[in-house]
Structure 1
Amino acid sequence: MGFKEEGQINFIFIFTIACLLMVIIFLLSIILGSAEINIQTIINAIFNYDSTDMNHNIIVDIRIPRDIGALLVGMALAVSGAGIQSVTRNSLADPGLIGLNSGAALALALTYAFLPTVSFSMLIFTSFLGAMIGGTMVIMIGRSRRDGFNPIRLILAGAAVSALLSALSQAIALYFRLNQSITFWSSGGVSGTTWEQLYIGFPVVIIVIVMFILISRQLSILNLGESVAKGLGQNVKLIQVFTMLLSMMLAGIAVAIVGQVAFVGLMIPHIARFLVGTDYKKVIPLTVVLGGSLVVAADTVARLMGEAPVSAIISFIGVPYFLYLIKKGGQTI
């Protein structure tokens, strides 16, 4: 058996285990909560819904959309991080660390201030625009003509721009008395996820992820370096711009649903590359599954802790990991 066949078998095995783990975590997240509901009631709520049964309403109207929302956000942030890391060739990059999340949050604050009754589809669009503005500012500051994307410069630029945009968001919230709405988004939480949001956000996220899978070969080549990619006939600028736009779209949707959550897009691509290598045909699908599992698990823990912020739960793991990567010089584990 050749190395290629053996690697494919290993990927199928790892991907299958990851999918099973995601299903188990998702089912546990539906079962666990402040209200103790047995499995039989959950099954009845799904297949024989009774609107007069309070437990059925909790399952169908609160827990299931919340868990699907967490799954969706995890997938979006993880794939967005993988795309950004490929384009910038910076393993320390993350949507929350290069201004995408803070830019989207600022756009949401402006939208709530001037268009408080706007539809969720418009929130997604404005979040995308905000993420694009924040990410473009960081990239313009962090990129050098001589050596491209310097990891430390990019992170410092991201910290500065994120602080600026977050301060503007808070100022708008104070002036227009939006503290409650902005606090919810800044802390990160999927407790308010509705079916209407999922009907709009779910197909968009799936379509963008499929686009990432379609360009995964180009991302693998780009990961080798711009000069190598150009030598192999790739339109590097087009791939970079298209990938960043897709990443910004995913980050914008995630912020519109859950708020500012960092480190998912940092950690998950690293773990995926450690498990299956640097071929993005394998990295992207595994990133999707692992990202969804992480956020669902974090939301379940947050729920059991009395609705603690999801971002705090993830940061508890993400901050030490980020410091570890800095110590290693940004190299994958």
Structure 2
Amino acid sequence: MRTVKKLPAAILMAAPAAALLLIVLSVLYGAKSISAQEIWAAVFHFDPGSMDHQIIRASRLPRVVGAMLIGAFLAVSGALMQGMTRNYLASPSIMGVSDGSVFVVTLCMAFLPSTGSVSFIMLSMVGSAIGAGLVFGLAWLIPQGMSPVRLAILGTLIGNFLSGAAAAVSSYYQLSQGVSFWYNARLHQMDPSLIKLSIPFAVVGLGLAMAVSGSITVLSLGEEVSANLGVRTKLIKGLTMLAVVILTGVSVALAGKIAFVGLIVPHIARFLSGVDYRWIVPVSGVLGGLFLALCDLLSRFLNDPFETPIGVVTALFGVPFFLYLIKTRGGGSRHA
């Protein structure tokens, strides 16, 4: 056990240096090149009259920080869902959780345009809960509905329905231009004030995730085993889904729907950390943040001088990985 824990511990210790490197690179490179000296000056000797300083403070720093936070939230959500359901295809984007948030965000923009930022984040969480409730509720009613492939298909269908409904509402109320942000996940339009307001919600979500991580390890062994070991399965599942709803809702509120992060990263974290979710959850968070920040950096170079949508970049990694899981794991219900 001691040998198994060395690698995840090393990852967690190396994470701050890797994050700092990505932050510097993300601020340096973009549509306008900025020198390292300007970054230092913008952080420690901010000049409101300097355009470079304004770009760094108002755009590039919030962008990379937001990308790291969102990547961490989605990866942790995916790890929790995979462990709780023993479904290697579970993730917020595939199971309709993110689409539920987008749907409610669209309704909010149509009917409650003056909603405050905090209420906006909370409504996004409500949408996550609606999406998750529809998918998992229907899965329990369908024979073998909790099998990985069937649950993924059901999640895709519900997600497409919610996305279609949101698109219909945005079209009818002429919200297409505003709502496109939530579909295309434009990280370069990150709102710094919204990031600050999301921190308390994120702390609660991540705290819940770590609190249930030990029980998730037992749950991942199966219902009967966890019940025999005294785990209160219904309570743990409820708290787990609450954490997923909070973290996914915050992610969508910040930057819209981003796919595949919650699918790919937990598998990598599990490969590196073993079967203990007390390690898988934090390692997923760290790797998820770094992964999305790296994808955002790559998006600036794939089609230079134009930026590639972040969803396209994550799909370049996610679609092959998704097909690989289908091929290697098949359709049976088993743990990831």
User: Paired residue for 1:77?
Assistant: 74
Q: Give the alignment of 1:1-333 within 5 angstroms.
A: 4-143=1-140, 149-304=146-301, 305=303, 306-329=306-329
**Gaps in structure 1 of 5+ consecutive residues:** none
User: Is the 8 Å Cα contact of residues 42 and 59 (structure 1) preserved in structure 2?
Assistant: yes
> What is the alpha-carbon distance in structure 1 between the residues aligned to residue 151 and residue 80 of structure 2?
15
Return 323-332 or 246-255, whichever deviates more: 323-332
User: Is the 8 Å Cα contact of residues 23 and 61 (structure 2) preserved in structure 1?
Assistant: no
> What is the alpha-carbon distance in structure 2 between the residues aligned to residue 61 and residue 166 of structure 1?
30
> What is the alpha-carbon distance in structure 2 between the residues aligned to residue 215 and residue 148 of structure 1?
25
User: Is the 8 Å Cα contact of residues 72 and 288 (structure 2) preserved in structure 1?
Assistant: yes
User: Is the 8 Å Cα contact of residues 78 and 288 (structure 1) preserved in structure 2?
Assistant: yes
* TM-score of the aligned structures, taking structure 2 as reference length: 0.94
Deviations 1:261-288 (A, max 9, x none): 1110000000000011110111111111
* 2:299 alignment partner, SS class: helix
* 2:329 alignment partner, SS class: coil
> What is the alpha-carbon distance in structure 2 between the residues aligned to residue 115 and residue 145 of structure 1?
36
Deviations 1:90-149 (A, max 9, x none): 010110111111110000000000111212211111111111111111101223687672
Q: How far has the Cα of 1:26 moved from its partner?
A: 2.3
> What is the alpha-carbon distance in structure 2 between the residues aligned to residue 201 and residue 69 of structure 1?
10
User: Is the 8 Å Cα contact of residues 144 and 150 (structure 2) preserved in structure 1?
Assistant: no
Deviations 1:224-280 (A, max 9, x none): 111111101010011011101110111111111111111100000000000111101
* 1:303 alignment partner, SS class: coil
User: Is the 8 Å Cα contact of residues 213 and 281 (structure 1) preserved in structure 2?
Assistant: yes
> What is the alpha-carbon distance in structure 1 between the residues aligned to residue 206 and residue 180 of structure 2?
29
Percent identity, aligned pairs only, is 35
Counterpart code for 2:316: F
> What is the alpha-carbon distance in structure 2 between the residues aligned to residue 82 and residue 102 of structure 1?
18
User: Is the 8 Å Cα contact of residues 270 and 332 (structure 1) preserved in structure 2?
Assistant: no
Query: Taking structure 1 as reference, are residues 118 and 255 closer, same or farther at Cα in structure 2, changes over 3 Å only?
Result: same
User: Is the 8 Å Cα contact of residues 95 and 159 (structure 2) preserved in structure 1?
Assistant: yes
* Cα RMSD (Å): 1.7
User: Is the 8 Å Cα contact of residues 208 and 240 (structure 2) preserved in structure 1?
Assistant: no
* TM-score of the aligned structures, taking structure 1 as reference length: 0.95
> What is the alpha-carbon distance in structure 2 between the residues aligned to residue 25 and residue 281 of structure 1?
26
User: Is the 8 Å Cα contact of residues 212 and 284 (structure 1) preserved in structure 2?
Assistant: yes
> What is the alpha-carbon distance in structure 2 between the residues aligned to residue 262 and residue 129 of structure 1?
19
> What is the alpha-carbon distance in structure 1 between the residues aligned to residue 133 and residue 111 of structure 2?
24
Counterpart code for 2:259: A
Query: Taking structure 1 as reference, are residues 148 and 227 closer, same or farther at Cα in structure 2, changes over 3 Å only?
Result: farther
Q: How many residue pairs were aligned? A: 330
* 2:257 alignment partner, SS class: coil
> What is the alpha-carbon distance in structure 1 between the residues aligned to residue 260 and residue 7 of structure 2?
27
User: Is the 8 Å Cα contact of residues 72 and 202 (structure 1) preserved in structure 2?
Assistant: no
**Gaps in structure 2 of 5+ consecutive residues:** none
User: Is the 8 Å Cα contact of residues 71 and 293 (structure 1) preserved in structure 2?
Assistant: yes
* 1:177 alignment partner, SS class: coil
> What is the alpha-carbon distance in structure 2 between the residues aligned to residue 170 and residue 145 of structure 1?
28
